[in-house]
């Protein structure tokens, strides 16, 4: 997307004000409104669909498979498909790396344990149907919802099979299946990690930059949030989709600590909102569109 | 203010779960033809089986029967039967005031994205060139076309003519057309723009809007505010401009030739914005959200409605809350209510 020089300078001048004047006059820490629906794919263990007002849309499906632990390097595998982008393109592989890396390093793997030999492996398939701004936050929020609503069948065979040669068997009754959140040890809460994209203009940090805003950002930050704190990786990124972003420049390190404080302040609310939609979804049946 | 709002998707058709009865067979073409005026058809629906009708746009002909190929309303002009789609790409018509973005600079012409099927063409000969009088274009102009307009630049223009393949040719030979500055761009579905005589309005709050017929909208700071800061040379022209009414008058184009000499310097192709106060910027974002809300509510966009929506939005002190669905719906409701009150 190319903006005209006059548009760019107008946008930039607006965003650099204190507080920033965003085109849709969101405050710096405000997300665009989202619509979400969970657990709507009948043939997957967990699913979520999330949509922005501008038509950006992402569907995530979680499927589980029983595997021999000794043969698997990782118990989570992500796959991302972005419509309009090749699977081996930089854009998609960076998204895929980010998400896989985040989940593999910050996931309570013990919930996937079945027996001493066997375990569940989660396949997380993400489909970005359309997007205008950088889709990583959308993807990770949808992944959060899908993982939170993932149900796995109940194991009925013996947990300890180190001695015997036995394959795990499961209860036929889907009503007895358990949510991932019920399988974590009682003292901790099951909250998968999420990514938050921040835009940097001057001293201002903008949550969830829209595609027009992305074009004039001086820098972009990707932070991850897990267990009520900001975790690594924290990385920066040029969010302008055409790479000749003339505004792109280095960033004051103070902004990083500022961004950590911002996330501490507001991420709780984001996670609460996501949890809220899951509870609400369980209670009532509705259309998925 | 909340950081994020996540809602469940709502099913618009929830209250009417029963299928709409499809009655293609019983309802013969004869009957459909009689149901005069506004009849809405869906793709594949039989419009008529009477072969006397000529098949126009949006229809196809199979086994002596005419079907609709789009969802829209049936229009009959003499013997010509066509279906006008409810939505779809903008189709340029001569005289339309459009907003466009340059996509390509070519030999003696620019290609302009105006949301049509094909990019429109803006010939070098149909723009005002810097340097006063309506002069002929020269080779040096051809060589410096990128100094006038380059890729990404936004402009407003008028559709001069339509080529046989449906693509449009534009011109900016008037001072109300040309490069756009001091504002922000947004898109709405072109089907929502109501065609009128005038498409650029001055709104309350020192903001102007150009609602292109193609659904491209430009919100900017009003020009009047600038009159006090413009240089002495342009002041005379500005005064002459102010004395005539601020809107577009038929016949104004002929008067403006003298003004062209004074104003048509390189300034008309400048990329520099004027200084814009924060209050104007805030007002622009408010209008931005109001227009988005009108588009969300599928209301036709007119000057009246933009102003009414703006007045309704003043109830929301925090403009950022206008992006929520409920706020947008209530604004649309307010607009409809105040329209009813005025009758």
The answer on B292 and B212 residing in a single domain is: no
Contact B156, B108 (CB under 8 A): no
Per-residue confidence (pLDDT) for residue B135, from 0 to 100: 66
Domain finish residue from B269, B292, B317:
B269
User: A6 in a domain, yes or no?
Assistant: no
Q: Give me the long-range contacts of B31-35 (CB less than 8 A, separation at least 24).
A: B32/B74
- Residue A46 domain-assigned (yes or no): yes
Q: What is the pLDDT of residues A9-28, one digit of tens each?
A: 999 999 998 889 998 888 88
pLDDT value of position B54: 87
> In this structure, is residue A3 part of a structural domain?
no
B170 contacts B100 by C-beta, under 8 angstroms? yes
Model confidence at B34: pLDDT above 50: no
A21 vs B: CB within 8 A: yes
Question: pLDDT category, A166, cuts 50, 70, 90?
Answer: confident
Task: Kindly report the CATH number assigned to the domain that includes residue B158.
Answer: 2.40.50.140
* B165 shares a domain with B217: yes
State whether B238 and B210 are in the same domain: yes
Of residues B64 and A163, more confidently modeled: B64
What pLDDT score does A28 carry? 86
Instruction: Provide the pLDDT for residue B259.
Output: 56
Q: Are residues B320 and B203 in the same domain?
A: no
Q: Do B10 and A270 touch (CB under 8 A)?
A: no
Q: Report how far Cα A130 is from the mean position of its chain's Cα atoms.
A: 16
196-225 of A, contacting B, C-beta below 8 A? 207
At residue B155, what are phi and psi to the nearest 5 degrees? Answer: -145, 160
CA A46 – CA A51 distance, rounded (Å): 17
Task: Output the domain CATH number for residue A223.
Answer: 3.30.230.70
In angstroms, the separation between the Cα of residue B252 and the nearest Cα of chain A is 28
Q: Is B147 exposed, middle or buried (0-12, 13-18, 19+ CB in 10 A)?
A: exposed
Closest CA to A279 of A31, A36, A26, A14: A36
Share of chain B above pLDDT 70, in %: 77
Contact residues, chain A, for B292 at CB < 8 Å: 24
Query: What is the DSSP annotation of B231-288?
Result: -HHHHHHHHHHHHS-SS--TTHHHHHHHHHHHH-SGGGG--PPPP--HHHHHHHHHHH
Interface pTM, i.e. ipTM: 0.89
pLDDT of A63 > 90? The answer is yes
Q: Is residue B258 part of a domain?
A: yes
Q: What percent of chain B has pLDDT over 90?
A: 28
Average pLDDT, chain A: 86
Q: For residue A129, what pLDDT is reported?
A: 93
Contact indicator for B158, B136 with CB cutoff of 8 Å: no
Indicate whether B251 pLDDT > 50. Answer: no
Q: Are B261 and B199 contained in the same domain? A: yes
For residue B9, the chain A residues in CB contact (below 8 A) are 35-37, 51, 286-289
Neighbours of A164 (CB within 10 A): 10
Residue B337: give the domain boundaries.
278-342
- Tokens representing residue A170 in the block: 């499961």
pLDDT at A168 over 60: yes
Does the pLDDT value for residue B160 go beyond 90?
Answer: yes
Question: Residue A145: which pLDDT band, with cuts at 50, 70 and 90?
Answer: very high
Does the pLDDT value for residue B13 go beyond 60? no
User: Angle A196-A197-A198 (CA atoms, 0-180°, nearest 5)?
Assistant: 115
CA dihedral B277, B278, B283, B287 (to 10 degrees): 100
Burial B313-333 (b: 16+ CB within 10 A, else e): beebeebbbbbbeebbebbbe
Using the Cβ of A148 and the Cβ atoms of chain B, whether some distance falls under 8 Å is answered with no
Residues of B in contact with A23 (CB under 8 A): 184, 186, 285, 288
Picking from A136, A101, A95, the residue whose alpha carbon sits closest to that of residue A233 is A101
Are both B262 and B294 inside the same structural domain? no
Nearest CA of chain A to the CA of B135: how many Å? 27
Contact: A26, B10; criterion CB under 8 Å? no
For residues B107 and B149, membership in a common domain is answered with yes
Task: Give me the domain span that covers residue A207.
Answer: 11-283
Residue A198 lies in a domain: yes
Supply the CATH number for residue B80's domain.
2.40.50.100
Last residue of a domain, one of B228, B247, B269: B269
Residue A289 lies in a domain: no
Q: Reply yes or no on whether the pLDDT at B322 is more than 50.
A: yes
Span A231-238, mean pLDDT? Answer: 86
pLDDT for the residue numbered B87: 86
- The model's pLDDT over B102-132, given as tens digits with 9 standing for 90+, comes to 999 998 899 999 999 899 999 988 888 876 5
- What is the tally of structural domains in chain B? 3
Determine how many CB atoms are found less than 10 A away from the CB of residue A148: 22
Nearest to B3 among A5, A31, A35 (CB): A31
pLDDT for residue A246 is more than 60 = yes
What is the token pair recorded at A188?
Answer: 């901790």
């Amino acid at each position: 997307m190319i903006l005209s020089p006059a548009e760019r300078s107008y946008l930039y001048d607006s965003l650099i004000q204190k507080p920033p004047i965003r085109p849709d006059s969101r405050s710096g820490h405000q997300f665009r409104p989202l619509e979400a629906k969970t657990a709507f794919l009948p043939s997957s263990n967990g699913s979520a669909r999330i949509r922005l007002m501008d038509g950006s849309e992402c569907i995530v499906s979680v499927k589980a498979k029983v595997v021999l632990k000794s043969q698997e390097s990782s118990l989570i595998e992500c796959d991302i498909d972005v419509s309009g982008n090749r699977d081996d393109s930089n854009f998609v592989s960076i998204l895929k790396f980010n998400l896989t890396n985040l989940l593999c390093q910050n996931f309570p793997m013990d919930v996937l344990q079945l027996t001493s030999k066997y375990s569940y492996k989660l396949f997380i398939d993400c489909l970005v149907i359309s997007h205008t701004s950088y889709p990583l936050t959308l993807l990770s929020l949808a992944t959060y919802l899908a993982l939170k609503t993932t149900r796995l069948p109940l194991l009925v065979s013996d947990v300890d099979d180190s001695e015997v040669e036995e394959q795990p068997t499961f209860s036929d009754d889907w009503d007895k299946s358990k949510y991932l959140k019920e399988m974590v040890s009682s003292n901790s809460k099951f909250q998968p990690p999420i990514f938050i994209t921040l835009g940097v203009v001057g001293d201002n940090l903008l949550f969830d930059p829209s595609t027009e805003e992305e074009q004039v950002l001086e820098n972009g930050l990707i932070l991850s949030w897990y267990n009520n704190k900001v975790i690594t990786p924290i990385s920066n990124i040029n969010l302008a989709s055409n790479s000749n972003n003339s505004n792109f420049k280095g960033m004051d390190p103070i902004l990083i600590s500022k961004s950590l404080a911002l996330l501490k302040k507001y991420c709780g609310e984001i996670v609460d909102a996501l949890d809220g939609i899951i509870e609400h979804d369980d209670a009532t049946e509705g259309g998925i569109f | 203010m909340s950081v994020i709002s996540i809602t469940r998707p709502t099913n618009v058709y929830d209250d009417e779960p029963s299928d709409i009865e499809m009655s293609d067979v019983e309802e013969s073409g004869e009957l459909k033809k009689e149901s005069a005026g506004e009849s809405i058809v869906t793709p594949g629906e039989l419009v008529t089986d009477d072969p006397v009708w000529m098949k126009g746009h949006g229809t196809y002909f199979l086994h002596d029967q005419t079907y609709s190929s789009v969802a829209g309303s049936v229009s009959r002009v003499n013997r010509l039967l066509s279906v006008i789609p409810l939505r779809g790409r903008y189709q340029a018509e001569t005289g339309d005031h459009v907003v466009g973005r340059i996509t390509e600079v070519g030999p003696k012409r620019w290609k302009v994205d105006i949301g049509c099927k094909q990019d429109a063409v803006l010939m070098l000969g149909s723009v005002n060139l810097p340097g006063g009088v309506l002069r002929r274009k020269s080779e040096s102009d051809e060589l410096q076309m990128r100094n006038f307009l380059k890729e990404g630049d936004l402009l407003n223009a008028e559709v001069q003519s339509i080529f046989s393949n449906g693509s449009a040719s534009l011109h900016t030979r008037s001072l109300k057309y040309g490069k756009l500055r001091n504002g922000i761009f947004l898109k709405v579905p072109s089907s929502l723009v109501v065609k009128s005589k005038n498409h650029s309005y001055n709104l309350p709050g020192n903001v102007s809007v150009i609602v292109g017929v193609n659904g491209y909208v430009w919100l900017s700071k009003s020009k009047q505010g600038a009159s006090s800061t413009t240089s002495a040379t342009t002041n005379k022209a500005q005064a002459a401009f102010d004395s005539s009414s601020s809107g577009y008058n038929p016949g104004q184009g002929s008067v403006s030739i003298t003004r062209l000499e004074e104003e048509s310097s390189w300034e008309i192709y400048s990329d520099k914005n004027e200084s814009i106060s924060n209050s104007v910027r805030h007002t622009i974002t408010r209008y931005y959200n109001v227009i988005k809300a009108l588009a969300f509510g599928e209301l036709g966009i007119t000057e009246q409605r933009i102003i009414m929506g703006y007045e309704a939005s003043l109830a929301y002190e925090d403009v950022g809350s206008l992006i929520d669905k409920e706020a947008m719906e209530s604004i649309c409701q307010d607009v409809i209510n105040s329209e009813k009150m005025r009758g």
